[in-house]
Amino acid sequence: MARGSTRPTSRDVARAAGVSQAAVSLVLGDKWRGRVSEPTAQRVRDAALELGYRPNLAARNLRLGRTRTVLLVVPALTTEFFAEVYTGAARVAAEHGFGVVLYPSPEGVGPARDPFASAQAALDGVIASSMAADALSAIRGDQLPLVMLDSDPEGSLGAATVNLDIADGIRQVTHHLLALGHRSFLHLAADIPSWTFEVRARELVSRLADAPGTELRTIRAPISIEGALRATEAALAAPGPRPTALVCDDDKLAAGAYKAVRRAGLRVPDDLSVTGLDDLGLATAIDPELTTVRLDAEAFGERGMRALLAVLEGRPPEKGDLPVSLVVRGSTAPPRRGEVKRGETR
């Protein structure tokens, strides 16, 4: 077909490629694998390029009843972790012609009780962190195709669940500290009722229960530097032997703990080894740099979006948790010999 004022159609592409219109739809909709051969798919793409064919996405979406818009619900954007989750999800979404709307929900429901007049009409699906799960009912997101992040697979609200291997991260931290010789542990736990933090606590207790001669005490704090500072100050001032290792649920808690350690006249790691979890930019901004567990937040967001696409297309999502890795830096070292109690000197 010669180029002219008439816009080419899928029928024109089919005729030029020598295939059916159904084949054209499959190839240009990226659903051809297993149904159309690679040479045929290439002929269709070449014909579409030669004719200058552009599919009418608006019409196609209207026929499918889709807006090609996904909502990502996160607890807040107070760290770069969830910003990177968004980056990963948006990258995969763009590759498939979807857009991602971000909805930070710091207090469960967040600043707007319903950011959409009707979420079911405005959205194709939702990806939500378990820490923001309370917001789902307010926006009716639990009535849409839903993928949960950081959620108990046994009791998830979603059609699919995507998790990082947090339990293995805690195992790596515990193994590292035990190998250095630590036996007295303090757990600075996030004061948030969320499955992902329950996993941290449960795995730490389990790992230390298998190590003879260890002791563990737990304190809780909101995820803020000030909250961690206050909780750690109180723990370090409490009577009894001082712990030699402090395991923090995330890097921001670790940063607050650093301040408490210094205010107590102590040093990291000489008097107290400290570990975090996330590997935020903060981890290398504090001194000494923080030993922490690296979580690939962008890959997490990518996996979440791929899982939602699979749900929308009726396919089983990819299985298995995303791996994590321990990054050893200057905040951990072997403990000094002997126990030190409050008021004693070395």
The stretches of 29-149 forming alpha helices (DSSP H) are: 38-51, 57-64, 80-95, 119-122, 135-138
* CATH architecture, range 166-295: 3-Layer(aba) Sandwich (3.40)
Identify the CA nearest to 266 among candidates 292, 247, 244, 249: 244
Alpha carbon separation from 212 to 41, 181, 209, 243 (Å, rounded): 62, 12, 7, 16
**The CATH fold of domain 67-163+298-319:** Rossmann fold (3.40.50)
Domains 67-163+298-319 and 166-295 share a fold: yes
**Structure pTM?**
0.76
Q: Could you report the average pLDDT of every consecutive run of 10 residues in the chain (346 residues)? A: 61 89 77 82 88 62 63 77 93 91 63 50 82 66 81 84 97 98 97 91 96 96 95 95 96 97 97 96 96 97 95 89 98 79 38
Identify the CA nearest to 9 among candidates 27, 24, 30: 24
| Tokens standing for residue 247 | 């395991």
308 membership: H or E segment, kind and range: helix 297-312
Q: What pLDDT score does 339 carry?
A: 47
Q: Using CB atoms within 10 A of its CB, is residue 118 exposed (0-12), middle (13-18) or buried (19+)?
A: exposed
> Which amino acid belongs to residue 70?
V
Query: What are the φ and ψ backbone dihedral angles of 44, each rounded to 5 degrees?
Result: -65, -45
Q: Using CB atoms within 10 A of its CB, is residue 69 exposed (0-12), middle (13-18) or buried (19+)?
A: middle
DSSP one-letter code for 268: T
Q: What pLDDT score does 120 carry?
A: 53
Q: What pLDDT score does 135 carry?
A: 67
**The CATH fold of domain 10-55:** 434 Repressor (Amino-terminal Domain) (1.10.260)
Q: Domain-by-domain residue ranges, the chain?
A: 10-55, 67-163+298-319, 166-295
CA 269 – CA 340 distance, rounded (Å): 15
In this predicted model, what pLDDT tens digit does every residue of 140-181 receive, in sequence order?
A: 555 788 899 999 988 777 889 999 999 999 999 999 999 999
Residue entry with tokens 């499955």: 195
CA 1 – CA 17 distance, rounded (Å): 11
Q: What pLDDT score does 67 carry?
A: 76
In this predicted model, what pLDDT tens digit does every residue of 77-86 receive, in sequence order?
A: 557 899 999 9
Query: What are the φ and ψ backbone dihedral angles of 287, each rounded to 5 degrees?
Result: -130, 125
Q: Using CB atoms within 10 A of its CB, is residue 239 exposed (0-12), middle (13-18) or buried (19+)?
A: exposed
Task: Identify the sign of the CA torsion 292, 293, 298, 301.
Answer: negative
CA 112 – CA 117 distance, rounded (Å): 11
Q: What pLDDT score does 86 carry?
A: 93
Q: What pLDDT score does 65 carry?
A: 46
Q: What pLDDT score does 328 carry?
A: 98
